[in-house]
C-alpha cells in the first residue's frame, strides 16, 4: 500500500465534501436534529395519568382514597362524573385513561371492617401503558389497605404493630428511573450507524454514475488505497458527530457520563469505521446512489432500532430473532455506550462487545477491498 496514493484518494474525497457544503451541513445537522427529536419526544415514563372518579359514597373515607392518587406524580385528577356513561365517555374521548367507581357503601363497609369493591376501568388500547397504570393503581390500593389494617390494629391494641419485613430498595445507575438516561445513549448508536452508512453508501456509486470510476481504474491506485482513502474523510465526520452527540447527551439532556471518555471514543471509532465500511460495501455492490442509500437505510436503521436492545429487550424476543441480533453491530455498541455512560465500567467487563466491533470493522473492510478489487482488475 502506497501512503501517497491513499492520501491522494482521501484528499480527493475531502474536496468532494468541501465542494458540497449542503451535504456536509446535513451530515452534521441531521444527527443533532434526530438526537433532539428522540431525546425529547421519545420517553417510556408514564407520569400524570389522567383519571376521573365516580364517587357514589361522598364520604371522608372515599375522599381519602382518591387523595392517595392525587398525592403521587403518576396520576392527574381530571374531575368527577355523575354517572357511569360519563366515565365511559371520558375514556372513549381520551380525556381520562383511568376511571374509579366508588360504591355507596364504601365508608360503611370500611367502618364495619368488611371488604368493599372499587372498580378501576383502564383504557387498554395501549397495552404497555395500561399495564403500568394497573400496577400504579394496585400499588395505591395496597397502600390504602395497609394503612386501614394499621389503624385497626392501633385502635384495638393501642400500639402500632412492628413490621416483620423492612424492605429498603436502592436503584443503581439511574436512581430517578428517568427513561432519557438510557434512551439518549441508545439512540446515539441508531443515529450514528444510520448517518455513517448513508455517507459512504454514495461514494463508489457516485463514481460509477459520473463515469469517473474508469479513470480511477486506469490509475495505479489499488483497492485497499481506494477503500481506506475514501473512509478517512468520513471517519473524521463520524467522530465529529460522536463528539457533538456526547456533548448534547451530557450538557443538554443531563445524562451522567460515569466511565472513561477515552474508552467511549475508542469504541465509538470502532463502530463508526465498521458502519462506514458497511456503507462503502453497499455502494460498491449497488453502483447506483438511490439504490445504495435505500439499502443503507434499511440495513442500518431498522436493525439498530429494533434488534439492538435500545428500544426493546432482546430477552423478550423470540429465540430466532435473538439469534439474528448477534450479527447486528448496534447491539454491541448500545451495550458499550450504556455500560460506559451509566455503569461506569471498562474493558474488563465490556471487552467481548469491543472485540466484536473490531472484528466487524475488520471483516467488512476486507470484504469491501475484495469486492472493489474485482472492479479495478
In the sheet that holds 119-122, the strands lie side by side as 75-80, 49-55, 98-102, 119-122
Q: Sign of the CA dihedral 140, 142, 146, 148?
A: positive
How far is 347 from 341, CA to CA, in rounded Å?
Answer: 13
CA distances from residue 154 to 64, 106, 143, 150, 158 in whole angstroms, order as listed: 19, 21, 16, 6, 5
* Model confidence at 213: pLDDT above 80: no
What's the pLDDT score for residue 50?
92
User: Does 308 lie in the same domain as 228?
Assistant: yes
Tell me, yes or no, whether 348 lies in a domain.
yes
7 Cβ neighbours under 8 A, 6+ residues apart: 229
Q: Grid coordinates representing 15?
A: 474536496
User: Does 358 lie in the same domain as 270?
Assistant: yes
What's the pLDDT score for residue 122?
92
Domain end, chosen from 106, 127, 157, is at 157
Q: Grid coordinates representing 154?
A: 392501633
User: Does 235 lie in the same domain as 109?
Assistant: no
The C-alpha angle 2, 8, 9, rounded to 5 degrees, equals 95
pLDDT band at 190 (very low <50, low <70, confident <90, very high): confident
CATH number reported for the structural domain that contains residue 111 in this entry: 3.40.1710.10
Question: Which one of 40-49, 175-184, 328-337 scores highest in mean pLDDT?
Answer: 328-337
User: Does 269 lie in the same domain as 245?
Assistant: yes
pLDDT band at 164 (very low <50, low <70, confident <90, very high): low
Q: Grid coordinates representing 312?
A: 426493546
- pLDDT, tens digit (0-9, with 9 covering 90-100), for 41-85: 777 677 888 999 999 998 888 899 999 998 888 899 998 998 999
What's the pLDDT score for residue 377?
47
Burial class of residue 80 in the structure, from the number of CB atoms within 10 Å of its CB (0-12 exposed, 13-18 middle, 19+ buried): middle
User: Does 194 lie in the same domain as 146?
Assistant: no
- pLDDT, tens digit (0-9, with 9 covering 90-100), for 94-136: 899 999 999 999 888 888 878 888 999 999 888 878 888 898 8
123 Cβ neighbours under 8 A, 6+ residues apart: 91, 94, 96, 97, 98, 130
Tell me, yes or no, whether 173 lies in a domain.
no
Among residues of the chain, what percentage have pLDDT more than 70? 93
Tell me, yes or no, whether 87 lies in a domain.
yes
Residue 208 CA, distance from chain mean position: 37
DSSP structural state of residue 265: H
* Model confidence at 375: pLDDT above 70: no
Query: pTM for this one?
Result: 0.77
What's the pLDDT score for residue 302?
82
User: Does 328 lie in the same domain as 242?
Assistant: yes
* Model confidence at 261: pLDDT above 60: yes
What's the pLDDT score for residue 355?
93
User: Radius of gyration (Cα) for the chain, nearest Å?
Assistant: 29
* E strands, the chain, in order: 49-55, 75-80, 98-102, 119-122
What's the pLDDT score for residue 52?
93
**What is the maximum span of the chain, computed from C-alpha positions, in angstroms?**
99
DSSP structural state of residue 188: H
Q: Grid coordinates representing 31?
A: 444527527
Tell me, yes or no, whether 168 lies in a domain.
no
User: Does 77 lie in the same domain as 38?
Assistant: no
- pLDDT, tens digit (0-9, with 9 covering 90-100), for 18-36: 777 777 777 778 788 888 8
- Mean pLDDT over the full length of the chain: 83
User: Does 56 lie in the same domain as 25?
Assistant: no
- Summary count for the chain: helices (H), strands (E): 15, 4
Q: Are strands 119-122 and 75-80 parallel, antiparallel or unpaired?
A: unpaired
Q: Grid coordinates representing 263?
A: 474508552
- pLDDT, tens digit (0-9, with 9 covering 90-100), for 290-309: 788 888 888 888 888 888 88
Q: What is the DSSP string of 15-26?
A: HHHHT-HHHHHH
User: Does 22 lie in the same domain as 102?
Assistant: no
* Model confidence at 214: pLDDT above 70: no
Tell me, yes or no, whether 170 lies in a domain.
no
Q: Total domain count for the chain?
A: 2
Find, among 120, 118, 101, 121, the residue nearest to 110 by Cα.
118
Cα dihedral angle (143, 146, 152, 155), rounded to 10 degrees? -80
The residue written with cell numbers 456526547 in the block is 246
pLDDT band at 374 (very low <50, low <70, confident <90, very high): very low
What's the pLDDT score for residue 356?
93
Tell me, yes or no, whether 169 lies in a domain.
no
Tell me, yes or no, whether 58 lies in a domain.
yes
- Residue 238: domain span: 3-43+178-376
pLDDT band at 376 (very low <50, low <70, confident <90, very high): very low
User: Does 228 lie in the same domain as 147?
Assistant: no
User: Does 129 lie in the same domain as 275?
Assistant: no
Find, among 283, 290, 247, the residue nearest to 265 by Cα.
247
Q: Are strands 75-80 and 49-55 parallel, antiparallel or unpaired?
A: parallel
Amino acid at each position: 500500500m502506497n501512503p501517497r496514493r491513499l492520501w491522494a484518494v482521501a484528499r480527493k474525497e475531502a474536496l468532494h465534501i468541501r465542494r458540497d457544503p449542503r451535504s456536509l451541513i446535513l451530515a452534521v445537522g441531521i444527527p443533532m436534529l434526530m438526537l433532539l427529536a428522540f431525546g425529547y419526544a421519545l420517553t417510556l415514563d408514564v407520569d400524570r395519568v389522567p383519571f376521573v372518579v365516580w364517587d357514589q359514597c361522598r364520604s371522608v373515607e372515599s375522599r381519602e382514597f382518591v387523595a392517595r392518587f392525587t398525592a403521587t406524580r403518576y396520576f392527574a385528577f381530571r374531575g368527577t362524573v355523575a354517572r357511569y356513561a360519563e366515565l365511559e365517555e371520558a375514556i372513549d374521548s381520551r380525556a381520562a385513561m383511568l376511571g374509579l367507581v366508588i360504591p355507596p357503601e364504601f365508608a360503611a363497609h370500611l367502618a364495619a371492617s368488611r371488604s368493599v369493591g372499587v372498580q378501576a376501568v383502564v383504557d387498554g388500547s395501549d397495552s404497555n401503558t395500561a399495564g403500568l397504570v394497573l400496577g400504579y393503581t394496585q400499588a395505591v390500593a395496597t397502600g390504602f389497605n395497609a394503612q386501614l389494617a394499621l389503624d385497626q390494629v392501633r385502635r384495638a391494641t393501642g400500639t402500632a404493630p412492628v413490621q416483620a419485613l423492612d424492605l429498603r430498595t436502592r436503584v443503581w445507575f439511574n436512581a430517578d428511573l428517568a427513561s432519557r438516561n438510557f434512551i439518549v445513549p441508545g439512540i446515539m448508536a441508531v443515529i450514528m450507524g444510520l448517518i455513517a452508512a448513508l455517507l459512504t453508501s454514495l461514494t463508489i456509486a457516485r463514481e460509477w454514475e459520473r463515469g469517473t470510476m474508469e479513470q480511477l481504474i486506469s490509475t495505479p491506485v489499488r483497492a485497499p488505497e481506494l477503500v481506506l482513502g475514501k473512509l478517512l474523510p468520513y471517519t473524521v465526520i463520524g467522530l465529529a458527530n460522536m463528539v457533538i452527540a456526547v456533548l448534547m447527551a451530557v450538557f443538554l439532556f443531563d445524562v451522567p457520563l460515569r466511565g472513561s471518555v477515552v474508552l467511549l471514543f475508542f469504541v465509538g471509532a470502532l463502530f463508526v469505521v465498521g458502519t462506514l465500511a458497511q456503507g462503502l460495501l453497499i455502494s460498491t455492490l449497488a453502483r447506483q446512489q438511490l439504490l445504495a442509500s435505500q439499502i443503507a437505510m434499511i440495513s442500518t436503521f431498522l436493525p439498530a432500532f429494533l434488534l439492538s436492545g435500545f428500544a426493546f429487550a432482546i430477552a423478550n424476543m423470540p429465540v430466532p430473532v435473538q439469534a439474528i441480533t448477534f450479527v447486528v453491530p448496534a447491539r454491541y455498541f448500545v451495550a458499550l455506550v450504556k455500560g460506559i455512560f451509566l455503569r461506569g465500567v471498562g474493558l474488563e467487563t465490556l471487552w467481548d462487545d469491543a472485540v466484536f466491533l473490531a472484528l466487524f470493522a475488520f471483516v467488512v473492510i476486507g470484504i469491501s477491498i475484495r469486492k472493489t478489487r474485482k472492479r479495478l482488475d
